[in-house]
Structure 1
Amino acid sequence: MTITQLHYVLAVAEYQNFTKAAQKVFVTQPTLSMQIQKLEDELEIQIFDRSKKPIELTEVGKKIVYQAKNIVNESDRIKDIVDQQKGFIGGEFRLGIIPTVMPTLLPMFLTNFIKKYPKVKLKIEELHTEAIIEKLQEGHLDAAIAATPLEFENIKERVLYYEPFVAYTPPGHRLAKEDKIKAEELEVDDILLLEDGHCFKEGILNICKADKNVESSSFQLESGSFETLIKLSNEGLGMTLLPYLHTLDINEREAKNLRMFEEPSPAREVSLIYHKSELKMQIIQALQDIIAGVVRGAIAFQNVKIISPIHK
């Protein structure tokens, strides 16, 4: 039995197809099939039921895959231990970022990070929080940037910054003449929201203390982008809430429609999160330092009230 064979087993279990799995691990399909067959012969069991389409794990195969994940992850960490000892900052690093953070934060730190740590190969994915947690648990991500706090014992969180919610109230809206807005003045059926899956939406519902399944009396609309929400708001269809960093790119005309909240301002906590068994701590620390450096100049809010990204 070899670590390589276990890698092949995990690839087939993930893709449920020998050809796709072979492409994933960069070997020919006959080579992959031969090595898995060799392992099955050695163990005297069948890991995969090849008669099913797509291929399925046998009952004993499911147990083997569970153990193989642990073995492969631990074997991968041997190099991480050596890198840490040498102080080496490099190699592949898989980073997930939630959609409401990606477009504003990534351009702020990516160039600086690449220049300072050219030996790190960042692989970045835009993912919702639920998918991030799943991939961290399965070892498919090294770390992620997400709204916190989250309620997972095996996920560590390092706070990067606190980002206030900002109201966007177009002319003619009932709150447009307010200098600063109170959270209790918000009415959830008057707010244009992001679609389900965005933790920013959950935060807004928590500010409003609203039911998750709230329905508007006139119409119900959810969008995947803040730009769309702003345009709809400009058409008089309601107000919306934006993360502070997103407001920095708004044009001068639309910036007049922004309203801050009275202190303590409702805000989201944005953190670098990773599995408690993660060993690429030198890269995590490097990311934290770079991001903290660039964000410090953009966000200087202290008197804030952290809003949970999990709907209560």
Structure 2
Amino acid sequence: MTITQLYYVLAVAENQNFTKAAEKCFVTQPTLSMQIQKLEEELSIQIFDRSKKPIELTDVGKKIVTQARNIVNESYRIQDIVDQQKGFIGGEFKIGIIPTIMPTLLPMFLKNFIKKHPKVKLKIEELTTEEIISRIKDGHLDAAIAATPLQDDSIKERVLYFEPFVSYIPKSHRLHSNKKIDVADLDISDMLLLEDGHCFRDGVINLCKAFKNQSDEHFQLESGSIETLIRLSNEGLGMTLLPYLHTLEINEKEKENLHFFNDPAPAREVSLIYHKSELKMQIIEALQDVISGVIRGAIAFQNVKIISPLPQKR
């Protein structure tokens, strides 16, 4: 049994196809198939049911894949130990970022990080929190930036900053004349929300439900982007809540519609998250250092109340 054979098994399990797996592993399909067959013969079992299209794992194959993933990850740790000993910060690093953080935070730190750590090859994807958690657990992401806490024992969280919620209230709205807003003033029946699947949406719902027992049936309009919510609000279709960093990008006229909350302001906790067995800790620490450095000058709020990003059971 070799680590290479286990690596090939993981590739086939992921792609459900020997040819695609071989391409991902940069070997010929006969080479990959032969090595997997040798492993099956050594163990006297079938890892894959080749009669199915696409190929499926057998029951024992599923258990082998789980253990194979642990073994392959641990083998990578040897190189990681060497890199840390040498102080080397480099190599490929796959990171996911949720949609309501990506457009504001990424431009703030990416150029600085690349300049400071040119040997790191970042592969960045915009993903929902649900997708991020799944990919971190499967080993397809090294880390992610998301709203926390996630209450998942397999994932570690390093808090980067607390981002307050800011009300965006058009002039036609009943609350526009208020200089500051109380959470108790919010009425979800005239609130514009992001579409289902965004954790910022769940945070807004949790914030409103903490004070009023209201249900989804009152929602009037939902959108896939914060920019669309602002445009809909400008049309007098309701108010919305924005993450603070998004308010830095809007024009001066629209800034007249911004209303901050009374202390403690509701806020989301934004963290760098990764699997508890993650390697590449030197890159994670480098990311945390760079992001924390640029964010200090953008957010000076201290008195906040963290709102959960998790959907609440009904």
| TM-score, normalised by the number of residues in structure 2 | 0.95
Secondary structure in 1 matching 2:216:
coil
Residues 262-285 of structure 1, C-alpha deviations (whole Å, 9 max, x = no match): 111101010111112123211111
Corresponding pairs, count: 310
Q: Identity, % of aligned pairs?
A: 76
Match of 1:149 in 2: 149
Match of 1:57 in 2: 57
Match of 2:217 in 1: 215
Match of 1:288 in 2: 288
In structure 2, the CA distance between the partners of 1:138 and 1:117, relative to structure 1 (3 Å rule), is same
Query: Could you say what the CA RMSD is over the residues aligned between the two structures, in angstroms?
Result: 1.3
User: How many Å separate the matches in 2 of 1:244 and 1:135?
Assistant: 28
Per-residue deviation, 1:211:
6.3
Retained in 2: the 8 A contact 1:10–1:69?
Answer: yes
Match of 2:206 in 1: 206
User: How many Å separate the matches in 1 of 2:37 and 2:153?
Assistant: 38
Q: Which amino acid aligns with 1:139?
A: G
The yes-or-no answer on 1:309 pairing with 2:293 is: no
User: How many Å separate the matches in 2 of 1:163 and 1:157?
Assistant: 16
Equivalent runs, 1:1-312 vs 2, <5 Å: 1-209=1-209, 213-216=215-218, 220-312=220-312
Retained in 2: the 8 A contact 1:6–1:68?
Answer: yes
Residues 111-163 of structure 1, C-alpha deviations (whole Å, 9 max, x = no match): 00001001111111111111111122222211111111110122111111110
Q: Which amino acid aligns with 1:158?
A: R
User: How many Å separate the matches in 2 of 1:35 and 1:208?
Assistant: 57
Retained in 1: the 8 A contact 2:268–2:307?
Answer: yes
More divergent stretch after superposition (225-234 vs 22-31) = 22-31
Retained in 2: the 8 A contact 1:212–1:311?
Answer: no
User: How many Å separate the matches in 2 of 1:135 and 1:15?
Assistant: 15
Per-residue deviation, 1:82:
1.1
| TM-score, normalised by the number of residues in structure 1 | 0.96
User: How many Å separate the matches in 1 of 2:21 and 2:213?
Assistant: 44
Secondary structure in 2 matching 1:163:
strand
Residues 162-209 of structure 1, C-alpha deviations (whole Å, 9 max, x = no match): 100011111110111111111000001111100111110111011101
Retained in 1: the 8 A contact 2:22–2:32?
Answer: yes
Residues 183-239 of structure 1, C-alpha deviations (whole Å, 9 max, x = no match): 0000011111001111101110111016685112xx632111001111111111111
User: How many Å separate the matches in 1 of 2:154 and 2:53?
Assistant: 35
Retained in 1: the 8 A contact 2:194–2:223?
Answer: yes
Retained in 1: the 8 A contact 2:191–2:220?
Answer: no
Q: Which amino acid aligns with 2:176?
A: A
Per-residue deviation, 1:44:
2.1
User: How many Å separate the matches in 1 of 2:109 and 2:39?
Assistant: 45
Secondary structure in 2 matching 1:175:
coil
Per-residue deviation, 1:3:
0.9
Retained in 2: the 8 A contact 1:193–1:229?
Answer: yes
User: How many Å separate the matches in 1 of 2:263 and 2:120?
Assistant: 40
User: How many Å separate the matches in 2 of 1:277 and 1:44?
Assistant: 31
Retained in 1: the 8 A contact 2:190–2:220?
Answer: no
User: How many Å separate the matches in 2 of 1:122 and 1:191?
Assistant: 37
User: How many Å separate the matches in 1 of 2:31 and 2:44?
Assistant: 20
User: How many Å separate the matches in 2 of 1:222 and 1:22?
Assistant: 43
User: How many Å separate the matches in 2 of 1:46 and 1:76?
Assistant: 26
